[in-house]
Structure formats: structure tokens, C-alpha cells
Amino acid sequence: DAGVIQSPRHEVTEMGQEVTLRCKPISGHDYLFWYRQTMMRGLELLIYFNNNVPIDDSGMPEDRFSAKMPNASFSTLKIQPSEPRDSAVYFCASSLGGLETQYFGPGTRLLVL
């Protein structure tokens, strides 16, 4: 079975540009999570969805960040406009029936110049 799929794997962009990260969760999973990983702050939960509905977005850093899940097999995390401090690895994860056993994608490494 395919795991969580994220694209792109690497993204380099300039400050001010819009960035869109994509995620396909494991088929049948009903929870989807977006995390950000940095050396300074470690692994932070940004937002999670249950059955395509955003449940908790308290970790979203500011209005420049937005996430959507239009259907059960696709989610996006958008940063507009991007800033150098957004440089990080962004992980998508999915789970079935609860929040505890999560399956992570390989991540998108974002560099904002």
C-alpha cells in the first residue's frame, strides 16, 4: 500500500512568493495532520482535519498560512506571502480512527530566500 504522499519534496522560492504544499493521505484514513519541523522549535502541529473538516488550527502561525482539504484524498498547505522564517520541513500525516498512531509522509523541505 502507498503511504502518505507529499509534493514537492523540495521547494526553493523567494520571499513574497506563494508556496503550495500538497498531500495525499493513506486511503481510508479519516484524520490528516500538517506539521512543521525546524531545528529551533522541533516538530509543531499546525492543523489537523477529521473527515475533511478542520478541527484544530491553533498551531497555524499566522494568517499567511492556510490549509484546505477539499476531499478525503487531498490536502494543501499554502503560505502567502512566504518569508525566510518559514523555511522548514513540512510533514503531512494521516491516521485512522484517532490521533495517536500517525503515518507520516517524507516531508517537503522548503527554503525561502
Partner 1 sequence: GDSVTQMEGPVTLSEEAFLTINCTYTATGYPSLFWYVQYPGEGLQLLLKATKADDKGSNKGFEATYRKETTSFHLEKGSVQVSDSAVYFCALSSKAAGNKLTFGGGTRVLVKP
CB of 81 to partner 1, least distance (A): 27
Q: How many residues bind partner 1 (CB under 8 A)?
A: 18
Q: Given candidates 54, 56, 72, 76, which one binds partner 1 under the rule CB under 8 A?
A: 56
Does position 25 interact with partner 1 (CB under 8 A)? The reply is no
Of 62-101, binders to partner 1 (CB under 8 A) are 91, 93, 98-101
The kind and range of the H/E element at 12 are strand 10-13
Task: Figure out which of the listed residues 19, 26, 107, 110 binds partner 1, where binding follows CB under 8 A.
Answer: 107
Q: Which of 45, 72, 73, 74 binds partner 1 (CB under 8 A)?
A: 45
d(CA 111, CA 11): 6
Quickly count: other Cβ atoms within 10 Å of residue 29's Cβ.
17
Write phi, then psi, for 41 (nearest 5 degrees). Answer: -110, -5
Identity of the residue, 65 or 91, whose beta carbon is nearer to partner 1 in the bound complex: 91
Stretch that binds partner 1, among 14-22, 42-50, 62-70, 78-86 (CB under 8 A): 42-50
> DSSP 3-state assignment of 84?
helix
Instruction: Check residue 106 for interaction with partner 1 (CB under 8 A).
Output: yes
The DSSP string of 28-75 is T--EEEEEEEETTTEEEEEEEEETTEEEE-TT--STTEEEEEEETTEE
